[in-house]
Amino acid sequence: MEITRCGTCSTLSLFFHIDIAQSTPGEHLHVVGSHEGLGAWNPDKGARLTTNERTYPVWRSRQIELRCAPEDSSTVLVLKYKYVLDRRELKQGFLWEESIPDREVQIPWSQDCDCAVWLIRDSAFNREGATKVTKLAPGAKLLRSPQQETSEGLISVPEETPEAEEPTETPLFDAKYALVGRRPFAKGGFSSVWRCRRQGSAGVGTEEFAAKRIDLAGPSCIGSLKHWSTCGEGLGSAGQAICALQCSSNEPVLDQFLKPWAHQEYLLPFHALDQYCDPATVRTLSAAVAVTNSSIFWKKCHADGEDSGCMDPFANEDTQLWLRILLEVLQVVRIDGALFIVQCGDDPNVPSDQEPFPVFHSEGGVGVWNVPWLNPYHLKALFQGELDDRNAPGRVPWAQKKPVVYWRGALTAPDNIPMSEAQHLPRFRVFQVASMRNELFDVGVSSIDDELIAAWGKKAVQKLVKQHSVRRTPHEDFAEVAPRYRYLLNLNGVVSSWRLSQLLRTGSVLLLQRSPTHEALHWELVEWKHYVPVSASLDDLIELVTILEGNETLAKQIAEAGADFYARRMRPEDAYCTALRTLEISQLPEVTPQTLASRGFARAPGLEALPYVAWQTAAKSSSASTLRERIKSHLEL
């Protein structure tokens, strides 16, 4: 973005830049302030900032010109402002920076046609911090993200840009082979490894090979992929696992949500862990997890009065799931030292108005620092062998699906919600909406959450069920029944519902209710491509289904795109790639048995000690039961 000069001698030109402002689809960031050029505190007239999937959560405004009164003898413009999230698309109004006072900057200006342009840079939405004001030179360029910063900050001096060198042509390779896919499945310092196949061959069962590309040189075929025992050779155990699993070159969700800590040498140094685990700070169900010599150690990081939560794989199934996948990765990958924090429970526990900590949880999004990670339903599907079934979406042809909205689930609500709000809660509200067009809906409650009964009382809940015409239904096998319907509704409960591993595999249209936070893979989905967004109030639900019924081609395309995403991004290997990437980015050389013992860590149970549970019997006999066996089945290691 090139800097231009201001318009007249009576104007000041500004850019606003904020490093971290988390949002959800449908939300836009504005800067609103005391000057009429910033809306005079009217959020409807504020200046809009923009971001994109590459630079998020960094936001930047266009060049804004503020008029200064020529007769004003002052040489400094005092500007007060705040950032505001415009949530009107979600029918939720504006969200101001309520936890901090008005931001204020003083900008020099002159009637002598200095025409300076200024960059105003803040650190994070709704958090106090020093504002950096920088004078920019006309012709300079603003870089797009903090990762591109030079020693001069966000500014680069104009210079000649050399043309990119063209890759070397490779006629001998191209005559015999064709690369498969748009990205390599393994990368080294001077080379990358690609899938390839013989020219003219395609289709199921086609033999594939591995091609190694050296810098700008072309690829050369180096052996059958299935029997290639040197996969990832020279890249260590992690590189070999990445190669064998065909992991993508990055993990988009982890990369996106870990940007606030990208400038740090290590994701979680010990001093940050000590601060997070300070007994004086109230935390919810979180555990510090450390790896040394490929063994896991942990300690509780929440109040002693609470249960062990994340650290009981024998009584807590969720704990067993996340611990199991990490232990399986550590069977095949050597990690000498790593440190991170895992939080269990439904609600993310690191609000964005508090000090940021990279805490992995089942969901993340607006208003929290938590990093969304593999949720229990996704992990359970992995270990049950459900993610191995790549052909699931083809079980019920589109023409045979019922043109009806289907939902089943428990009657539940967020914590600390009064009964007077029941009519607005999604799992009560859906029955009001369904009553307007009964022929379009098959929705029902299969159980009532015990915590809801404990909070409101059994009789009160029964009264509300009757008052809101809540339909009670017996439990159904979701995997068996849901694919029979064209439209599958996902309703928020205590938080957003973690059902993508079940929903995407059906080949039906997903109707996903908007929420400030979501499970990890939701952040890779695109509205109206992979799913249809439904407002938090459900007011537009009938209208959306009517639109889809009137445009069956669109509905079918969305269903097919969702199923394609499932096939490409919800492989069993993808779950292991996420776990492996988590361990890699959490590495910390200081982690040793001695440092862990001094901080009260204890050894976690090993893989062989984890209890056998009934759901493991559901796993298909043809599915490899551990990561080690999966890799052996692919590569004969």
**Nearest residue to 25 via CA among 89, 83, 75, 111:** 89
Give the pLDDT band (50/70/90) at residue 361.
very high
Check residue 635 and give its pLDDT.
Answer: 52
Using DSSP bridges, classify how beta strands 602-603 and 295-300 pair: parallel, antiparallel or unpaired.
antiparallel
> Average pLDDT over the chain, rounded to whole?
80
Give me the half-sphere count of Cα atoms (radius 13 Å) on the Cβ side of residue 459.
Answer: 0
Lowest mean pLDDT segment, chosen from 55-69, 332-346, 382-396, 541-555: 382-396
Indicate if the pLDDT at residue 533 is higher than 90.
Answer: yes
| Residue 213 binned pLDDT confidence (cut-offs 50, 70, 90) | low
pLDDT tens, residue by residue, 264-281: 889 999 999 999 988 777
254, 582 in Cβ contact below 8 A? yes
Q: What is the predicted pLDDT for the residue at 555?
A: 93
Cα–Cα distances (Å) from 378 to 164, 251, 386, 525, 617, in that order, read 42, 16, 10, 16, 17
pLDDT for residue 394:
61
- Is residue 30 within a helix (H) or strand (E), and if so which, with residue range? strand 28-33
- Owner of token pair 């982890």: 254
Q: Write down the pLDDT at residue 354.
A: 84
Closest CA to 442 of 405, 479, 409: 405
Work out whether strand 219-224 and strand 286-292 pair parallel, antiparallel, or are unpaired. unpaired
Cα–Cα distance measured from residue 356 to residue 21, given in angstroms and rounded to the nearest whole number: 12
Whether residue 115 contacts residue 141, with contact meaning beta carbons closer than 8 Å, is answered with no
Find all residues with CB under 8 Å of 395, minimum gap 6, and list them.
Answer: 483, 507
Q: What is the pLDDT of residue 310?
A: 75
- Residue 408: band (very low, low, confident or very high) from pLDDT cuts 50, 70, 90: very high
Instruction: Tell me what the mean pLDDT of segment 385-411 comes to.
Output: 84
Q: Cα–Cα distance between 256 and 365 in angstroms, integer?
A: 11
pLDDT band at 300 (very low <50, low <70, confident <90, very high): confident
Q: Which single residue is written with the structure tokens 């503020």?
A: 66
Q: What is the mean pLDDT of residues 305-333?
A: 82
Cis amide leading into 57 (omega within 30): yes
Lowest average pLDDT, out of 284-298, 507-521, 603-617, goes to 603-617
Instruction: Indicate the DSSP class of residue 246.
Output: T
Q: Where in 381-484 does DSSP place strands (E)?
A: 402-411, 441-448
Separation CA 46–CA 38 (nearest Å): 5
Q: What is the DSSP string of 117-173?
A: EEEEEEEETT---PPEEEEE-TT-EE-SSGGG-BTTBSEE-----PPPPPPPP-HHH
Residue 6 contacts residue 13 (beta carbons within 8 Å): yes
- Per-residue pLDDT tens digits for 129-176: 788 888 876 555 554 443 333 333 444 433 333 333 333 444 556 666
- What number is the average pLDDT over the span 458-481? 92
Give CA–CA dist 11/7, Å, rounded: 7
Q: Within a 10 A sphere around the Cβ of 227, how many other Cβ atoms?
A: 10
Q: Round to the nearest angstrom and report the end-to-end CA distance of the chain.
A: 50
How much is the average pLDDT of 250-270? Answer: 89
Residues of the chain with CATH 3.40.50.2000: 391-570
- Closest by Cα among 572, 396, 600 to 483: 396
d(Cα 407, Cα 413) in Å, to the nearest integer? 16
Q: Write out the residue limits of the CATH 2.60.40.10 domain(s) in the chain.
A: 11-156
Q: What is the pLDDT of residue 111?
A: 61
Residues with Cβ within 8 Å of residue 122, at least 6 apart in sequence: 16, 17, 18, 19, 83, 103, 129, 131, 132
More confident residue, 617 or 320: 320
Helix, strand, coil shares of the chain, percent, nearest 5, are: 30, 25, 45
Q: Could you tell me what percent of the chain has a pLDDT over 90?
A: 40
pLDDT at 115: 59
CATH 3.40.50.300 fits 391-570, yes or no: no
Is residue 373 predicted with pLDDT exceeding 50?
A: yes
Q: Please tell me the predicted confidence (pLDDT) of residue 621.
A: 40
Strand partners, 188: none
The class (CATH top level) of 11-156 is mainly beta
* 120: nearest Cα among 108, 101, 110, 107: 107
- The DSSP 8-state label assigned to residue 386 in this structure reads G
The amino acid present at 597, given as its one-letter code, is: A
pLDDT of residue 315: 79
CB 145 within 8 A of CB 164: no
Cα–Cα distance for residue pair 247/580, rounded to 1 Å = 10
Alpha carbon distance 387, 631 (integer Å): 16
Q: Pairing state of beta strands 155-156 and 141-142?
A: antiparallel
Confidence of residue 2 (pLDDT cuts 50, 70, 90): very low
Q: What is the pLDDT of residue 229?
A: 39
Which pLDDT score is estimated for 550? Answer: 92
Instruction: Say what the pLDDT of residue 164 is.
Output: 32
- CA dist 118 and 131 (Å) reads 12
The span from the CA of 132 to the CA of 254, in Å, is 28
Query: What is the number of other CB atoms lying within 10 angstroms of the CB of residue 130?
Result: 8
pLDDT tens-digit series, residues 516-532: 889 999 999 999 999 99
Q: What is the spatial distance between Cα 487 and Cα 91, in angstroms, rounded to a whole number?
A: 23
d(CA 260, CA 352): 11
Q: pTM for this structure?
A: 0.65
Tell me which DSSP letter residue 98 carries.
T
pLDDT at 102 over 90: yes
Could you tell me the CA-to-CA distances from 318 to 49, 274, 322, 415, 535 in Å, in that order? 39, 25, 7, 20, 30
Given a cut of 90, whether residue 242 has pLDDT beyond it is no
Burial class (CB in 10 A: 0-12, 13-18, 19+), 624: middle
Cα–Cα distance for residue pair 196/209, rounded to 1 Å: 5
